[in-house]
Amino acid sequence: MSVLNRVALGLGLTFLYAPILVLAVYSFNASALVTVWGGFSTRWYAILFADRPLIDAALVSLRVAAASALVATILGGLAALALDRAGRFAGRSLFTGLVYAPMVMPEVITGLSLLLLFVGIGLDRGIVTLVIAHATLGLGFVAVLVGARLKGLDLALELAAADLGAGPLRVYATITLPLIAPALAAGFLLAFTLSLDDLVIASFVSGPGATTLPMRLYSQVRLGVNPEINAASTLLVAGVTVIVLGATWLTGRNAAKAGPTYGA
Amino acid sequence: MRTSGRPAVTRLVPVLPFLWLGAFFLLPVLITLKISLSAAATAQPPYLPVLDWSAGPEGWGTFLEELDFANFETLANDALYRDAALSSLSLAAIATAFLLVVGTPIAYAMARAPARVQPLLVALVIVPFWTSFLIRIYAWIAILKPEGLLSAGLMRLGLIDRPLELLNTQAAVLIGLTYAYLPFMVLPLYAVFARLDPRLRDAAADLGASPTRVFWSVTLPLAGPGLMAGALLCFVPMVGEFIIPDLLGGSDTLMLGRVLWSEFFSNRDWPLASAVAILLLILVVGPLVLFREAETRRTEAAR
């Protein structure tokens, strides 16, 4: 590797990580001031664990994330299969657009338009509306991951199974599904963290009694820098790091065959 | 092979996701369009007219007559919305340029790293991408504020003698946008650079091109669709960004995402908020179509 490339990587990773590290370091600061180091302390973590509304919000977020990631994985997996295997079907072009669009659509539009739908059909805002919104958001990301995996598959395996007399559902269950399972798992984890992270869409579609963790954090962040938020953030970042390493391991086992896939 | 002998079952595969996306993505956008043509009202729901299904075809007639473009006239005539639209587009465009300049060398260096460290490098770029957006932006408040770490550090080094007024400026918004969207830029670019055939570079080098020349005349043009996809993947959501201008931009940074938010949550003017959403959609629909085409070309090329 040339010196120039090393410098680019070093600077890039420093830029990406320095703010997160600063956050983590100051979560152990005994002083409440950001620029003054008052010695090592875990008191902000003690305060955090006694913060009932914050913990309740985290539990709401985890439930919504699990449910919406499950729906997103099923629908996103089907969408990827449709795009890779179903050939030409009526509305294919519209379908492709609908799968990709929610990923890049500004969140304020997705949030507002879903809220207007829920109000229009009289669906009470709460956990259910959050799950629907987040599943719609995560679906496209799952489809991209599974799609990349499907492209790397050797079609001969499925054809061989079909030649040996297996019906299409049997081929899917015994050949295709096990082969795309790592991508489905990575997609689930990505959809899970996207849901856990979302503030904007949740603010629109959530109702009373369903305050998510980012909504709670946002209401405190608006009041300024606060070491308790640093502590909460540090735990969240640590959790996500574990999830990402798990997902990298899951997809990495067969990465050499499937080629690089971005997004996970 | 893929087109022949397709069993009926595969034809059913798109049905479920298609219905879901139609109901929860397409239909909501159409409803937003309809409400952007309505008027605000102190009612539940807070807009008029509401379609009266019981009135039959006549109800449809009066309903359609009551729709108008008043909200869009407000958007066109009030300087606030024009400025917000212009600064959304320009900040997103400048940040996209920054991202290309910062992201390309990182992605290229990742692709040229030894094969066994590449998965680790990818994971290192992904961790911030998966880490809470809100938290990553929040982290910059402590760095950028006048009594924050950046000013304190620079003053200790003697480079400046007064704290920098960075927080609550457009510069802070640009830093935040570049920081937050960097993984979105680096990952697709890395995927492109990693797939390029190294023999093309070798051939150019054998023919006497310097490494710089190889990069500019072989690598970069081949990476074109990937660069395009990466740039649009960042540009479109940045135009409608809310969290970054809200936390780092202060009161003098107007962006459409933030205007929409305050029309909805503070003024409770749902029709005007919907009109802002439609304006935002019109601004990003061109780039969105381009993104889809770049993405299709990229995936076709990867086959």
Q: Residue A247 belongs to a domain with what CATH number? A: 1.10.3720.10
Give the model's pLDDT for residue B6: 58
Q: Exposed e or buried b for every residue in A183-215, given b needs 16+ CB within 10 A?
A: bbbbbbbbbbbbbbbbbbbbbbbbbeebbbbbb
Neighbours of A20 (CB within 10 A): 19
Name the closest residue on chain B to residue A17, using Cα atoms. B128
For residue B28, pLDDT beyond 80: yes
Same domain, A136 and A200: yes
Q: What's this model's pTM, rounded to 2 decimal places?
A: 0.86
How many domains does chain A contain in total? 2
Q: Which domains does chain B have, with CATH numbers?
A: 80-302 (1.10.3720.10)
Better-predicted residue by pLDDT, A66 or B119 = A66
- What's the mean pLDDT when you consider all of chain A? 86
- Give dist(CA B49, CA A135) in Å, integer: 31
Q: Sign (positive/negative) of CA torsion A129, A130, A135, A141? A: positive
Give the model's pLDDT for residue B256: 92
Better-predicted residue by pLDDT, B148 or B169 = B169
The answer to whether the Cβ–Cβ distance between B182 and A264 falls below 8 Å is no
Instruction: Kindly state whether B20 is in contact with chain A, defined as any CB-CB distance less than 8 angstroms.
Output: yes
How far apart are the CA of A225 and the nearest CA of chain B, in angstroms? Answer: 7
Instruction: Kindly state whether B260 is in contact with chain A, defined as any CB-CB distance less than 8 angstroms.
Output: yes
Q: What number of CA atoms fall less than 13 Å from residue B10's CA on the CB side?
A: 22
Task: Examine residue A248 and state whether it is found in any structural domain, yes or no.
Answer: yes
A178-189: average pLDDT: 90
- Give dist(CA B110, CA B114) in Å, integer: 9
Better-predicted residue by pLDDT, B22 or B39 = B22
Task: Examine residue A4 and state whether it is found in any structural domain, yes or no.
Answer: yes
| Among candidates B194, B288, B296 on the partner chain, residue whose Cβ is nearest the Cβ of A101 | B288
- Per-residue pLDDT tens over the stretch A10-29: 999 999 999 999 888 888 88
Task: Examine residue A263 and state whether it is found in any structural domain, yes or no.
Answer: no
Give the model's pLDDT for residue B85: 92
Same domain, A216 and A141: yes
Task: Examine residue A230 and state whether it is found in any structural domain, yes or no.
Answer: yes
- Give dist(CA A140, CA A135) in Å, integer: 9
Q: What number of CA atoms fall less than 13 Å from residue B76's CA on the CB side?
A: 5
- Per-residue pLDDT tens over the stretch B234-272: 998 899 999 999 999 988 788 999 999 999 999 889 999
Better-predicted residue by pLDDT, B97 or B61 = B97
Give the model's pLDDT for residue A253: 60
Task: Examine residue A160 and state whether it is found in any structural domain, yes or no.
Answer: yes
Confidence of residue A259 (pLDDT cuts 50, 70, 90): very low
Task: Examine residue A262 and state whether it is found in any structural domain, yes or no.
Answer: no
Same domain, A161 and A252: yes
| Residue A36 neighbours by CB under 8 Å, 6+ apart | A29
- Per-residue pLDDT tens over the stretch A144-153: 889 988 888 8
The answer to whether the Cβ–Cβ distance between B108 and A8 falls below 8 Å is yes
Same domain, A18 and A54: no
Name the closest residue on chain A to residue B190, using Cα atoms. A262
For residue A261, pLDDT beyond 70: no
Name the closest residue on chain A to residue B185, using Cα atoms. A262
Confidence of residue B53 (pLDDT cuts 50, 70, 90): low
Give the model's pLDDT for residue A256: 44
Better-predicted residue by pLDDT, A45 or A223 = A45
Amino acid letter for position A106: P
The answer to whether the Cβ–Cβ distance between B240 and A108 falls below 8 Å is yes
Give the model's pLDDT for residue A251: 65
Give the model's pLDDT for residue B276: 94
For B264, phi and psi rounded to 5 degrees? Answer: -80, -55
Same domain, A145 and A111: yes
Using a CB-CB distance cutoff of 8 angstroms, which residues of chain B are in contact with residue A101?
A: 25, 288, 292
Same domain, A33 and A62: no
ipTM of the assembly? 0.86
| Among candidates A17, A98, A112 on the partner chain, residue whose Cβ is nearest the Cβ of B26 | A98
How far apart are the CA of A95 and the nearest CA of chain B, in angstroms? Answer: 6
Return the structure tokens found at A239.
């959790």
Give the model's pLDDT for residue A257: 45
Task: Examine residue A264 and state whether it is found in any structural domain, yes or no.
Answer: no
Same domain, A83 and A3: no
How far apart are the CA of B77 and the nearest CA of chain A, in angstroms? Answer: 22
Task: Examine residue A6 and state whether it is found in any structural domain, yes or no.
Answer: yes
DSSP string, chain B: -TTSS--HHHHHTTHHHHHHHIIIIIHHHHHHHHHHTSEE-SSSSSEE----GGGHHHHHHHHHHH--SHHHHHHHH-HHHHHHHHHHHHHHHHHHHHHHHHHHHHHHHHHHS-TTTHHHHHHHHHHHHHS-HHHHHHHHHHHHSTTSHHHHHHHHTTS-SS----TTSHHHHHHHHHHHHHHHHHHHHHHHHHHS-HHHHHHHHHTT--HHHHIIIIIHHHTHHHHHHHHHHHHHHHHT--HHHHHHS-TT---HHHHHHHHHHTS--HHHHHHHHHHHHHHHHHHHHHHHHHHHHHHHHH-
- Percentage of chain A exceeding pLDDT 70: 93
For residue B5, pLDDT beyond 60: no
- What's the mean pLDDT when you consider all of chain B? 85
Same domain, A31 and A139: no
Better-predicted residue by pLDDT, B61 or A144 = A144
Give the model's pLDDT for residue B8: 67
For residue A206, pLDDT beyond 80: yes
The answer to whether the Cβ–Cβ distance between A86 and B11 falls below 8 Å is yes
Give the model's pLDDT for residue B287: 80
Same domain, A37 and A54: no
- Per-residue pLDDT tens over the stretch B152-201: 888 888 888 888 888 888 999 999 999 999 998 998 899 888 888 888 88
Neighbours of A232 (CB within 10 A): 26
Give the model's pLDDT for residue B299: 64
Task: Note if the bond before B46 is cis, omega within 30 degrees.
Answer: no
Same domain, A209 and A173: yes
Same domain, A77 and A153: yes
| Residue B60 neighbours by CB under 8 Å, 6+ apart | B51
Q: Three-state secondary structure along chain A?
A: CCHHHHHHHHHHHHHHHHHHHHHHHHCCECCCCCCCCCCECCHHHHHHHCCHHHHHHHHHHHHHHHHHHHHHHHHHHHHHHHHHHCCCCCCHHHHHHHHHHHHHCCHHHHHHHHHHHHHHHCCCCCHHHHHHHHHHHHHHHHHHHHHHHHHHCCHHHHHHHHHCCCCHHHHHHHHHHHHHHHHHHHHHHHHHHHHHHCCHHHHHHCCCCCCCHHHHHHHHHCCCCCHHHHHHHHHHHHHHHHHHHHHHHHHHCCHHHHCCCCCC
For residue A262, pLDDT beyond 70: no
Give the model's pLDDT for residue B159: 81
Using a CB-CB distance cutoff of 8 angstroms, which residues of chain A are in contact with residue B132?
A: 196-197, 214, 217, 233, 236-237, 240
- Per-residue pLDDT tens over the stretch B262-283: 999 998 899 999 999 999 999 9
Same domain, A61 and A34: no
- Percentage of chain B exceeding pLDDT 70: 92
Confidence of residue B1 (pLDDT cuts 50, 70, 90): very low
Instruction: Kindly state whether B25 is in contact with chain A, defined as any CB-CB distance less than 8 angstroms.
Output: yes
Report in angstroms the alpha-carbon separations of A231 from A25, A45, A227, B90, B240: 9, 6, 6, 35, 29
- Give dist(CA A122, CA A125) in Å, integer: 9
Minimal CA–CA distance to A88: which of B78, B103, B6, B139?
B6
Confidence of residue B3 (pLDDT cuts 50, 70, 90): very low
Domain that holds residue A33: 1-41
The answer to whether the Cβ–Cβ distance between A117 and B35 falls below 8 Å is no
